[in-house]
Structure formats: structure tokens, C-alpha cells
A and B are shown apart, each in its own frame.
Chain A
Amino acid sequence: MTQPSAPAQPAQTSFHLPDFCAGNTTLAVVLIVELVALVLSTARQPFHNNFWVDLASTSLFLLWQGLISAAALCRARPYLLRLPASRAYGAALLLMLLAALIVAEAVYQLGNRFGLGFGVMSDVFPSSHAQFLLRTLAISFIVSCLALRYFHVSTEWRRSVELEAQARIRALQARIRPHFLFNSMNTIASLTRSDPERAEEAVEDLADLFRANLSEARAWIPLKEELEIARIYQRIEQLRLGDRLTVKWEIAELPMRTLVPSLLVQPLLENAVYHGIEPLPEGGTIVIAGGFDGERIELSVSNPLSNNIANLKRGHGIALDNIQQRLELAWPGNARVELQQTDELYRVVLHFPYQERHE
């Protein structure tokens, strides 16, 4: 499979600068500038009477540089993104130095024209033109390099966190148990001769189930569809387990239109079959029950417990962590998974809000 790639994206290299038009980036720029101003004024002299004036003028001077740099980078970003990474960083650095130079020149001219008139401010404005510009350039070169490096690293870090989260969702989703797949194949192989019609149905069901599993990782679907996937899963397992598997659906109260992240219920049912029914020679009953109070939904899957506890501890945990994480991503802070366990029963309860639309 080939992915359509946009032509304007050769910059997939590693140019990671944030959007300087955004408010929080500007705030970061201001903070950096103020820190540098503080360092400069503190380093210049032992604390003298003019410290605050010194700090204020340095801040003013540097803020102009910083904000003009940010504005330039904001405007230039679309162009920078098209360059190879190293050149883009070079260009960004040049832009920042240019901004510093312009501001320094302006300040010098200003001081030259008016500053000399104010006696108090005479030491605020620079006197030697060339030296002043050179010093400004040197300092702003060092600070710009550090700032670029900082923005690069922090943006890259944020991106990798996001990618990781996405990859995790994807990994969480592609998780039909191989055990289930091969057992289903075996059942179908058996039915093709003895009961071709049922074999055909089973293949159709299996196809639907896989389609749901392979669908877009962040898909939201109506609860009705989600429950349908669980029913399809049940039909396949029913062929294999026969009388040993009974599933009771007590879901009349549930609002079928509410949206849920796909594959919320089916994995729970799969767990219940794998850990609850299969280890029991006589089989048992799984109950899927739902409640709704107008705002929040409660959906539970319960299965009988086999006495083989060692078996139980193993798999449940992974699938549950998985669902917990996905609920958290779907409704941060507003959904949870609850476990109830008695001697004979294992019950997983999902709590989440009613939601008709997803932004």
C-alpha cells in the first residue's frame, strides 16, 4: 500500500520549530528574553544604584529583539518548512541576528539623536557604534542558538509523545487474539463440509470483525454499532463453544445513539469468553448489562470465575489497562473502569458520559 504524500512536504527531515505566532510560544520568548536581561544586568556590575534602570533598559532592548525575531519567524515559517533542516535552522538564525542588528542600530541612532540630551540616561545609551553592534551580535548569536536548540528539543519531544500516544492507540486496537483467529479458522474448516451455509456466515462475520479491528484508530461509532460488533463476535464463538456459551443481553436502557470509541465492548466480551467460559468444562453465562441516568452510562460485562486463579490473573490485566487508557484518551478525567470480583463472578463496569456528537 502506498500513502499519498503531499508534494510540499520534503521537510519531513527534522525541522522542529514551534509556531511563533502562537500565544504560548510568544510567552516563552518573553521569558527567555527577561532571563537573559536579568543575567546581563546582574553580571554587568556589582549591584549599583542604577540596577533597576539598567534592567529595564536591557529588557526593553532585548524584548524588541526577541519579539521582532518571533514575528519574523512567524511570517517566515511556511518558507522555512520547505527548506532542508540544517538550512532552515541557518536561515532562522540569520533572521534572528538580523532582527538584533536592526534593533541595535535603531537604539544607537535614537541614543545619538536624543539620548545625549538627557543627562541621566547618558550611560544607558551606547557610545561606540561598531563595538556596540558587535557586542549585540555576539550575545544575540549565542542566545539565539540556545533558544533555537531549546525550541527544537521541546517541540521534538512533544511530537514524539504525541506519536507514541497514537501508536499506542493503534497497537491497542489491532488486538484480536491469534488464539481466536486460528480457532475460528478451524471451526470454519470443519463447517465447510458439514454445514456450508453456516461456514459462509462465519466467514462473513469474521470479515466484519476484522474490518472493525482494522478501522481508523480514533474512530467514534454509535453504541448500537459497537454492540453489533460484539454480537458478531458472539456468533463466531457460539459455533465453536456451542451450549457452553450463553450470553445475556440486558441493554434495553442504553441510549443506542451515543458515541463511543470503537471496540470498547467486544474486547471485554472476548476476555470474558477466554478467561471465564473456556476454562469451565460446563461453560457458563456472560451477562452484558447497561444502565443510563440521562447523563452517564454504565456498561458492564460479567463472567463466571473458574477456580483456576493462576489462569485468571494473567490476561485480564493487559486488556483492561488497554481499555482504561482508551477511555482516558476519549474522555479525559470523565470515564473510568471498575472491577468487581466475588468468589464466583468477575465483573468489569465501564462508566462514561452520554455523547451524541464528537468534535
Chain B
Amino acid sequence: MRVLIVDDEAPARDRLKRLLSEMEDCELSGEAGNGEQALQLCQQQHPDVLLLDVRMPGMSGIDVAQHLNALEDPPAVIFTTAYDEYALDAFEAEAIGYLLKPVRKEKLSKALRHAARISSTRIQQLKQKTQSDAPREHICARLGEQLRLIPVAQIRYFIAEQKYITVHHHKGTDLIDESLKDLSIEFDEDFVRIHRNALVAERAIASIERDAEGQYKVLLRDSDVTLPISRRHSAAVLRRLRGKSDD
């Protein structure tokens, strides 16, 4: 069994490494000090299990687990945490593999034996129950076997197509497998829903126009793209954008 250790604190990684080295059927595949690095190593090394710290700077452990599910064959995940009241409740309620630091050797070996991958719905539930009402900082897109992280700050708008969502960002477009409804809830602070199939970053909006037929349209900054605002959303969009510019 090949294990990837993810923790932002070096002593914490060292200890897990040592515990693993004392176990017979386990092998260290690698170690990562943050979420991005962890995702990268996952694609290169294809570990069987991740020991994943929940509280890390940048991308949290729960975010990493969420991104991992975009992989073809995601590894099993065991969360490690020193103390997060809310996280603990959530883990116990969801019966997801987790270990408390300092980790006991017996518990680690037992957890490794029972490690299983976590389903997307579980992670979504977990996210809601733990601290993470804070939105993600990256969106994860898959390109064949490759994962691509798109910083939310660079995203201009989402368009829902038949089955996928197209993310339009500074460096081009990518497809993601999420629902526009969830995205609009998660990024409610900065993004505004202008149509049943479109979610636009407020900062990307240059102006709003109304054409001869009375149809409102959004003009985007630094491009000649215009997106229609549906009748149903127009009042809310106008109110929101007007309110913001008044401040």
C-alpha cells in the first residue's frame, strides 16, 4: 500500500513517516506540504491512500479531497486533524476515516486497512458542516489524466452547456463537472447569476446595456463578449450591481 502524506507542518509529516516505516505492508509514496503539491504528486505517483491534514494554508484538506474526485481513479483519503471541533463532529457523523494528532500507531494501521475513497456527496456534506462555508480558491478541471487548478480570481464567467459547465478564465476555457446552482451558492459573494445558464464574476462586468427589444445584456471587460440577462434575473442583477456601485 502506497501512502502520500500531506501536512503543512514538517514535524507532523516526520512523525507519520516514522510510523509508516514501522509498518510492514506500507510504503511511503511521497510527502506534500500543501494542497496544490498534494494534487500534483497524486497524478505523478498514484498513491493508494492519502493521509490528509484538514487545516492547511491555501487549499484545505477537504478542498483537496474534493479536487481528487475529479481523477479517474481517486485514492482513498484519511483525514488527520489536531483539533477542529466542527470538523470532528462532521467526521463522526459521516463515519469518514479520520485520525487525531498525535496519531497512535494502532489507530493508523487500522485506518489504513479500512481506508476507502470518499464520495463527492460526502465531501459536499462535510464541507457544509465544517468551517468551509468559505468558498474555494481554485476550481479543478480535468484534461484527460491531468488536473488543472483554475484560481477563482481569474474566472470571468461560467456557462452551463448540455452536461458540463464551461469555465471562461484569463487563460482560456475549461470544462468542469459541477452544477451551476451549487457554484452560484458557493461564490455568491463575487459572482452574479444573470441567466439560467450563466454565472458571471462581478469584477468582469464592464457595463449593462439594453437593446431595442428591451433585452438587457452584460458587456464584459477587456473583451467583446456580451451575455444576455434573462427576464427572470434582470431585476435582481440590476439591483445588485447598482447597490455595489453606490458604496
Evaluate contact between B101 and A279: CB separation under 8 angstroms: no
Given A183-B9, A183-B101, A281-B34, also A190-B15 (CB < 8 A): yes
Produce 1/0 per residue, A292-306, CB < 8 A to B. Answer: 000000000000001
| A310 interface residue per 8 A CB criterion | yes
**A240-B11, A306-B57 known; A183 and B82 CB under 8 Å?**
yes
Q: Is A182 interfacial (CB 8 A cutoff)?
A: yes
**A185 contact set on B, CB distance < 8 A:** 101-102
CB of A239, distance to nearest CB on chain B (Å): 6
Asked whether any CB of chain A lies closer than 8 Å to the CB of B83, the reply is yes
Choice from A239, A280, A310, A311 contacting B11 with Cβ under 8 Å: A239
The reply to whether the CB of B134 lies closer than 8 angstroms to some CB of chain A is: yes
Kindly list chain A residues whose C-beta atoms are within 8 Å of the C-beta of B15. Answer: 186, 189-190
Chain A positions within 8 Å of B134 at CB level: 308, 310-311
A279 touches B57 (CB 8 A): yes
Residue among A181, A186, A193 having the largest count of chain B Cβ atoms under 10 Å? A186
Among B8, B10, B33, B101, the residue within 8 A (CB) of A182 is B101
Contact of A194 among B14, B33, B100, B102 (CB under 8 A): B14
Given A281-B57, A311-B134, A182:B100 Cβ within 8 A = yes
Which of A181, A240, A306 contacts B9, CB < 8 Å?
A240
Residues of A close to B135: CB separation below 8 A: 310
Task: Give A279 to B84 CA distance when docked, in angstroms.
Answer: 15
Of B8, B83, B137, which is within 8 A of A179 by CB? B83
Which of chain B's residues has its CB closest to A243's CB?
A: B10
Q: Are A187 and B9 in contact (CB under 8 A)?
A: yes
A310/B133 in contact, CB under 8 A:
yes
| Bound CA span A76–B58, Å | 70
Tell me if A186 and B14 are in contact (CB < 8 A): no
How many Å from the CB of B185 to the closest CB on chain A?
A: 15
Instruction: Tell me, in angstroms, the Cα distance from A170 to B62 when the chains sit together.
Output: 36
The reply to whether A186 and B34 form a contact with Cβ atoms under 8 Å apart is: no
Q: Which of A260-316 contact B (CB under 8 A)?
A: 278-281, 306, 308, 310-311
Please give, as numbers and ranges, the residues of chain B lying within 8 Å of A182 by CB-CB distance. 82-83, 100-102
Q: Report which of B12, B34, B133 forms a contact with A187, defined as CB distance below 8 A.
A: B12
Q: How far is the CA of A143 from the CA of B84 in the complex (A)?
A: 58
**What 1/0 mask marks residues of chain A from 166 to 204 whose CB sits below 8 Å from any chain B CB?**
000000000000110111011111110110000000000
| Interchain CB contact under 8 A, B57 and A278 | yes
Asked if A280 contacts B12 (CB within 8 A), the reply is no
A186 touches B102 (CB 8 A): yes
Contact (Cβ within 8 A) B58 A281: yes
User: Is the Cβ of B10 less than 8 Å from the Cβ of A186?
Assistant: no
Contact mask B65-80 → A, CB, 8 Å, 1/0? 0000000000000000
> Quick check: is A242 within 8 A (CB to CB) of the other chain?
yes
Chain B residue with Cβ nearest A242: B10
Question: Number of contacting residues on B, CB 8 A?
Answer: 26
Roughly how many angstroms separate A189 CA and B84 CA in the complex, as a whole number?
Answer: 19
A241 within 8 A of B: yes
B98 → A minimal CB distance (Å)? 13
Q: How far is the CB of A305 from chain B (nearest CB, A)?
A: 13
In the assembled complex, how far is the CB of residue B192 from the closest CB belonging to chain A, in whole angstroms? 19
Partner of A186, one of B57, B58, B85, B101: B101
Complex: A240 Cα to B34 Cα, angstroms: 15
**Shortest distance from the beta carbon of B77 to any chain A beta carbon, whole Å:** 19
The reply to whether A191 and B57 contact each other, CB–CB distance below 8 Å, is: no
CA distance A187 to B9 in the complex (A): 9
Chain B residues near A193: list those with CB within 8 A. 18
Contact in complex: B102, A241 (CB < 8 Å): no
Query: Beta-carbon contacts of B100-137 to A below 8 Å, as 1s and 0s?
Result: 11110000000000000000000000000001011101
List the A side residues contacting B131 at CB < 8 Å. 311
Residues of A within 8 A of B137 (CB): 308
Q: CA of A178 to CA of B34 in the docked complex: distance in angstroms? A: 23
Contact indicator per residue, chain B 20-58, by CB within 8 Å of chain A (1) or not (0): 000000000000011000000000000000000001011
Q: Which residues of A contact B11 (CB under 8 A)?
A: 186-187, 190-191, 239-240
Chain B residues contacting A306 (CB-CB under 8 Å) are 57
- Residues in B whose Cβ lies below 8 Å from that of A189: 15, 102
How close is A165's CB to chain B, nearest CB, in angstroms?
Answer: 27
* B103 partner residues in chain A, CB cutoff 8 A: 186
> What is the CA–CA distance of A29 and B12 in the complex, to the nearest angstrom?
68
Nearest Cβ on chain A to B183's Cβ, whole angstroms: 17
- A186 adjacent to B12 (CB under 8 Å): yes
**Do A186 and B82 form a contact, CB below 8 Å, given A194-B14, A281-B58?**
yes
Residues of B within 8 A of A308 (CB): 134, 137
A242 to chain B, nearest CB (A): 6
Write out the residue numbers on chain A whose beta carbons fall within 8 Å of the beta carbon of B12.
183, 186-187, 190, 240
The interface residues of chain B lying within 8 Å CB-to-CB of A281 are: 8, 33-34, 57-58
Residues of A within 8 A of B57 (CB): 278-281, 306
A-B contact pairs, 27 of them (CB 8 A): A178-B85, A182-B83, A182-B100, A182-B102, A183-B12, A183-B82, A183-B101, A186-B9, A186-B11, A186-B82, A186-B101, A187-B12, A190-B12, A190-B14, A190-B15, A190-B18, A190-B102, A193-B18, A240-B12, A241-B9, A242-B10, A278-B55, A279-B57, A281-B8, A281-B34, A311-B131, A311-B134
Q: Which 6 A-B pairs have the closest CB atoms?
A: A190-B15, A182-B82, A189-B102, A190-B11, A310-B134, A186-B101
